[in-house]
Structure 1
Amino acid sequence: MGDDSHPVRLGVDVGGTFTDVALVVDGDLTTAKVPTTTPQHAGVLDGVREACDAAGIDPADVGAFAHATTVSVNALLERDGARTALVTTAGFRDVLEIGRQTRPALYDLDAEKPVPLVPRRRRFEVDERATTEGIERPVDPESVRGLADEIAESDAESVAVSLLHAYAHPENEAVVTELLREELEVPVSASHDVLAEFREFERTATTAADAYLTPELDDYLGRIVSGAEDLGLPEPRVMRSNGGVADAETVRESAVTTVLSGPAAGVVGAAAVAGGATLGGEEPDGASSTSSAAAVTFDMGGTSSDVSLVRDGRAERAAETTIAGVPLRTPTVDVETVGAGGGSIAWTDAGGALRVGPESAGAEPGPACYGTGGTDPTVTDADVLLGYIGPDAALGGDLALDVDAAREALERLADAAGIEGDDGLGAPAAAARGVYRVANATMARAIRSVTVERGRDPRAFDLVAFGGAGPMHAAALADRLGMERVLVPGPAGVLSAYGLLAADETHDAARTVRLTLAESTGEGAATAGDLGDAFAELTDRVLADASEPEAARVELAADCRYAGQSFELTVDAGGGGSDGAADPGAPPAPAALAERFAAAHERAYGYRLDAAVEAVTLRVAATVEVDPPVVSRTGAPDAKRGAREVVFSDAGAVEATVYDRDALGPEAALGGPAVLAGTESTTVVPPGWGGRVRRDGTVALERTGGSEGAAGGDER
């Protein structure tokens, strides 16, 4: 049991296929992986009990409990959130339907726009008007009470209120919101609370999504809090899309901030591993607790793969994202997701070409090799036939592999795709190799999208691979992209759960202000006081949510643009003064902020203009830092478990050494071809690659010579 200086920490991440648990007791890491169940909260509590039993502790000994959930994102993907009503300014009922002029499928004659979360019959109008200058026409309280009766008759379970220009002057919206909360017994989300920013479509869509998600998330977290109390656990802190945790009560009031809860936790954990924060000191190969880590994070789970960037030791963030066709303006870890996971189904299209995903076999019935009723061939079935996953592996602790079922599924795929055996491989194994290649090509495109397509060279980054399937595919992806080093964390199969233990508490606030910073003459309309007052208001807001305001690090940023531009660049607005050397929580002078924007614009686009600069939206983040748990690892005298034939290249199968991943001790040296078989994940080391095990259990793989690559090949 941990003492006060080293509390027992617990992290639980719910995925589409498995629920992962990480438990650290005095530097010893215990993990558990159980199938995700319905309802989800029951599986969470089962996983907690299993991990605590394995560690020999009582749940009441846990001092810190963090949780990542898929409730919000699943509700958006499956369109099974609350029946939501929308209240808007008269004449703007159809803003969700109209949207923007963007066309994601410009030449698709059969393309259909995503169905709005709120159908037209549950969109209501209120007679009021605000402009950017103030309130022109106040709202009539009696008309709102009449509107409440109409909403009640619509059988709505939640209400979103988004009035014109409420980000600047929320008085009317506040009246409507308060009256509806008095008259109705359902949650009401107000746009000036959810997103105090301009651009009406995005503000309305985000507020509608918050209302759509709130009832289910509130019910789920209520059950988790109650179940945790019954077990003697502390109240959970919940991971949000921004990569930080917050108390359950705060999160229940901002459901839309949890749509990327799980992926964000994985990126945070990968950043801690890439920067060496889990080591507690220097490693011989140079890994240390440093802020200069640069890595591509690659999380391959059962349903999808998530790719993100870590630069200067921190996960990159974005101000908006789109989930299932719904634009959401909320701070998120910048994640690119593709429908290629271990459970992704392989199929042939109308032209006979081999395809993988995005449809997944999920946890039930699962891949064919699970022996739980699935018959479709999946990436996991391909990994089994290629020898990456051994026939004696137990996935998720209790699932014994059915190799024959995997072979039969891939044989049917081979027949459908016209694949014949070659290089000494039968048709099922040849089909498996094709599935592996296609899945890798999809994931390589995702990595290119966050590196090459943004002007960054992937060869300058490490690849941190995790998730149940990520380490099996990582070296082949690195070969494709010319990356030199792959890091496989010790708890790779449950790194999202482990990342929860390393996550800081983070709170964000933003507000559109539209302040002119500097004219072409150098004379600005905004004063230092204007910026200071606006930032102070946002700072007070985030510090009010922080558990330890006095310990919080406050960071300022501003979305700026040249007057007349349609979009903004986000620049650092902290440091005070004009040289950035003062208090990081103090805003700079307007002219200094304008110069920072001009420099950022020149870096991004190659030029700057002699024109007025506007600060459009101001942003503040408050972070209460948490020390990542330092994990120590011990190993067995001999981790070798034999050898087996594995398909690594077009030459067919070769013999690879098999190691017990969990028995590999610090400083153990590895050379390919090899397979590191673990409880939650398996690592594949191709020919031409070698590595070493760090003190925290991370396997650092590097090229040792010409690599033929895994079955994915080195096609670039």
Structure 2
Amino acid sequence: MLIDDVSGTVWVDKVPSTPAVPSDGVINGAKQILGKAQVQAESLDLMVYGTTVSVNRILQGGSTRTALLTTAGFGDVLELARAYRFGNIYDTRWKPPKPIISRDNVHEISERVTFRGDVVTPLDVAQVESLAAQLGDIESIAVCFLHSNQFSDHERAVREIFLRVRPDISVSLSSDLTASTGEYERASTAAVDAFVKPRLKEHFEYLEAQLREIGITCPVYTMQGNGGVMTLAAAAASPVRVMNSGPVAGVIAGADLCQQLGNLTAVTLDMGGTSTDVAVVNEGRPRETQSGQLHGNPVSQSTIEVDPIGAGGGSVAWVDDGGALRVGPHSAGADPGPACYGKGGTEPTVTDAALVLGYLSPDGLLGGATKLRRELASEAINRVVAGPLGLTEHEAAYGIVRLAAAASLRAIRRMTVARGFDPRDLVMVSFGGAGGLIGAILSHELEVSGLIIPTNPGNVSARGLLLTDQRHDEMWPLNKLVHDVAGSDLAEIYTSLEKNGTAALLDGTTGADLEHVRFLDLRYLGQAFDLTIESNGDYNPEHVTEEFHRIHAERYGHSDKSNPVQVVMARTTTVRRTPNITFAAATSPREGGPVPIHRDVYFGEWRKTPIYTRSELRPDDTFEGPFIVQEQGSTTVGLPGDHCKVLSDGSLLITPKSSPRTSTSR
């Protein structure tokens, strides 16, 4: 996506991804859209980039030769983890995920610090120097010493030793990444950071070199998991901070749309080729969490709360040993892709099913750049699904699409019903290349008040990148009861954290217009999980306690006012605001209403269905379902009985006839 921030003119395009060399796809897209807009690369003022390279590195089992340094006696920290069976606590056959760093690459170092930060055993410098010289082909190390969140000098000393003895090895310190009390969570965070750091650093360096070759010399930022952006250099130094940067950008764009429409509370659905990401926007603000999981590895970082599932347009349909139809998590990817791409794929996917049902145009995707071959999709579905299950071709295809929607439905209920949100009180914002295919199915199942398909749904994440602010988070452990925290001490801590945040964002400049927001992480005494509240203004223990009870009841359905409340962490967020960007809507005149073409589409039965071209629609246009809306990067399917209205910004508002109309009228 390219925008002229003076006129608001927007150019969008999509190109196939290049999994072998991800930056090649970025360069291809940049050159294509610059040519489309007839803009010189040298005239760009800013570029923002979202990537899942670090996530894919772990999900796809990439190999990085990584070691972990721990306090003597604590070398099993990653294996011991937490005594919890994720997914099902009653599963006696559950096997814990394999640690990201194998036990033979964990080294115990002689040093010890108490939980108060007092040194009991000094760091054995000679042992660290000897180890550094013996690590051979190790590419990176993670360092997590006991209680280093209270006393980080030993970890920092290790880094200085490696810079002197083995400067070729990347170093990730747990104390740099998180102030979390839990040793396992800090070790896991550092291990994830160290595992992806060498490859992500190479990726960013290669990308910057390629950008310079085509004339792009402007500042380049990348998305963080917390919804802010940072420089590529900062991201390369702490790659764990850019986890889920692509999915988070979509949530930011969805939140911006909700703000424009009256601070709506919504569930966002971002369905791409390999996965679907679900999030909740509460009154126009994305929900954040202070910790997450990445393929079984805890990561203690502030992040927009996103629930990813392995079901996208490229997800493969198959029949299990019990004769049940399944969709995903395996994906055909971009290469070879779905069977209908004609690039060697032989397994049926959601995209193949959508083509057979008439949802997708046989003319192809990406404005015709990717041709679709229905006969290949038909052959794959019949061979793998319809034949074994004794179904007709269209019955099998219909089942595949409905099953893909069912996977998203479960994720949405986890993010809404399980968190105290009634879907009937929400709108759904659906986007991504495949989001429009299943959005209407989900809106009917959930009975949401309305379904919104933004303009350029296949490029919504790119839009989110342009809406983000620079952001830096700092934290300080407290671990005191609410009434034991002195307001003056807390104010000094906040001032110090804000000073660090300012230094991180000014980056050698002065006079930047920065904003600071203060937070506290709280929990009931004895709890293992925290909740976060804003803490701007003077510290008031009674107010903090009442606010914690309120959000605990909102999140979990209950509170316990007899239980003491503990302050676990003080946090600050420092922000440099992005200049406001106005996206110009299409306003070219058109006589009369939109004129569709028609083709047969399957909705449980074959129906002659109007097919609209998105670029020909204008604000206040209305039409009834069933219908298909086609555009370059996405297709939207409206079910029988749906009503569609084009909003003033070009978004589609879809509501079932039987449901009350949402109050959204913009």
TM-score range, shorter chain: over 0.9
Contact 1:114-1:325 within 8 A present in 2 as well:
yes
Give the deviation of 1:567 after TM superposition.
2.8
If the length of structure 2 is used for normalisation, what is the TM-score?
A: 0.94
Question: Which one of 251, 256, 261 corresponds to residue 267 of structure 1?
Answer: 251
Query: Matches of residues 134-145 of structure 1 in structure 2 within 5 Å?
Result: 134-145=118-129
Number of residues of Structure 1 aligned to a counterpart in Structure 2: 647
Question: Which one of 401, 404, 407 corresponds to residue 439 of structure 1?
Answer: 404
Comparing 561-570 and 356-365, the one that deviates more: 561-570
Give the deviation of 1:106 after TM superposition.
4.0
2:575 partner letter: T
Q: Give the whole-Å Cα distance in 2 for the aligned partners of 1:306 and 1:571.
A: 25
2:654 aligned with 1:670: no
Give the deviation of 1:140 after TM superposition.
2.6
2:608 aligned with 1:655: yes
Q: Give the whole-Å Cα distance in 1 for the aligned partners of 2:41 and 2:308.
A: 34
2:53 aligned with 1:71: yes
Question: Which one of 114, 117, 120 corresponds to residue 131 of structure 1?
Answer: 114
Change (3 A) 1:349 1:165: same
2:551 match: 600
2:635 partner letter: T
Task: Say which SS state the counterpart of residue 374 (structure 1) adopts.
Answer: coil
Query: For 1:149-208, what per-residue CA distance to the aligned partner results, in whole angstroms no more than 9, with x for missing partners?
Result: 222x2x110011100000011122221221122211211111110112210001000001
Give the deviation of 1:136 after TM superposition.
1.4
1:192 match: 175
Contact 1:197-1:203 within 8 A present in 2 as well:
yes
Q: Give the whole-Å Cα distance in 2 for the aligned partners of 1:611 and 1:490.
A: 49
2:658 match: 705
Give the deviation of 1:624 after TM superposition.
2.1
Query: For 1:434-466, what per-residue CA distance to the aligned partner results, in whole angstroms no more than 9, with x for missing partners?
Result: 111111111111111110111110111111110
2:527 match: 565
Query: Matches of residues 366-405 of structure 1 in structure 2 within 5 Å?
Result: 366-395=337-366, 397-405=368-376
Q: Give the whole-Å Cα distance in 1 for the aligned partners of 2:92 and 2:543.
A: 49
Contact 2:512-2:576 within 8 A present in 1 as well:
no
2:438 match: 473
Q: Give the whole-Å Cα distance in 1 for the aligned partners of 2:264 and 2:653.
A: 14
Comparing 563-572 and 157-166, the one that deviates more: 563-572
Give the deviation of 1:81 after TM superposition.
4.6
Change (3 A) 1:172 1:86: same
Contact 1:229-1:235 within 8 A present in 2 as well:
no
Contact 2:367-2:631 within 8 A present in 1 as well:
no
Q: Give the whole-Å Cα distance in 1 for the aligned partners of 2:35 and 2:113.
A: 59
Contact 2:444-2:656 within 8 A present in 1 as well:
no
Contact 1:81-1:213 within 8 A present in 2 as well:
no
Task: Say which SS state the counterpart of residue 482 (structure 2) adopts.
Answer: strand
Change (3 A) 1:450 1:467: same
RMSD: 1.9
1:543 match: 502
Query: For 1:576-617, what per-residue CA distance to the aligned partner results, in whole angstroms no more than 9, with x for missing partners?
Result: 13xxxxxxxxxx234442343244345445333345432111
Q: Give the whole-Å Cα distance in 2 for the aligned partners of 1:390 and 1:396.
A: 10
2:465 aligned with 1:483: no
2:226 aligned with 1:242: yes
Task: Give % identity.
Answer: 35
Q: Give the whole-Å Cα distance in 1 for the aligned partners of 2:659 and 2:419.
A: 29
Q: Give the whole-Å Cα distance in 2 for the aligned partners of 1:169 and 1:386.
A: 62
Contact 1:301-1:467 within 8 A present in 2 as well:
yes
Query: Matches of residues 96-495 of structure 1 in structure 2 within 5 Å?
Result: 96-104=78-86, 105-108=88-91, 110-133=93-116, 134-151=118-135, 153=136, 155-184=137-166, 185-233=168-216, 234-276=218-260, 287=261, 290=262, 292-395=263-366, 397-420=368-391, 427-495=392-460
1:404 partner letter: E
Q: Which runs of 5+ in 2 are unaligned?
A: 661-666
Change (3 A) 1:674 1:194: same
Q: Give the whole-Å Cα distance in 2 for the aligned partners of 1:168 and 1:70.
A: 32
2:243 partner letter: V
Task: Say which SS state the counterpart of residue 570 (structure 1) adopts.
Answer: strand
Query: Matches of residues 571-610 of structure 1 in structure 2 within 5 Å?
Result: 571-574=533-536, 576-577=537-538, 588-603=539-554, 604-610=556-562
Question: Which one of 566, 581, 595 corresponds to residue 640 of structure 1?
Answer: 595
Task: Say which SS state the counterpart of residue 14 (structure 2) adopts.
Answer: strand
Contact 1:168-1:513 within 8 A present in 2 as well:
no
Q: Give the whole-Å Cα distance in 1 for the aligned partners of 2:614 and 2:385.
A: 32
Q: Which runs of 5+ in 1 are unaligned?
A: 1-20, 277-286, 421-426, 519-524, 578-587, 708-716
If the length of structure 1 is used for normalisation, what is the TM-score?
A: 0.87
Change (3 A) 1:600 1:677: closer
Task: Say which SS state the counterpart of residue 56 (structure 2) adopts.
Answer: helix
Task: Say which SS state the counterpart of residue 13 (structure 2) adopts.
Answer: strand
Contact 1:35-1:396 within 8 A present in 2 as well:
no
Comparing 94-103 and 635-644, the one that deviates more: 635-644
Q: Give the whole-Å Cα distance in 2 for the aligned partners of 1:396 and 1:413.
A: 29
Q: Give the whole-Å Cα distance in 2 for the aligned partners of 1:416 and 1:172.
A: 64
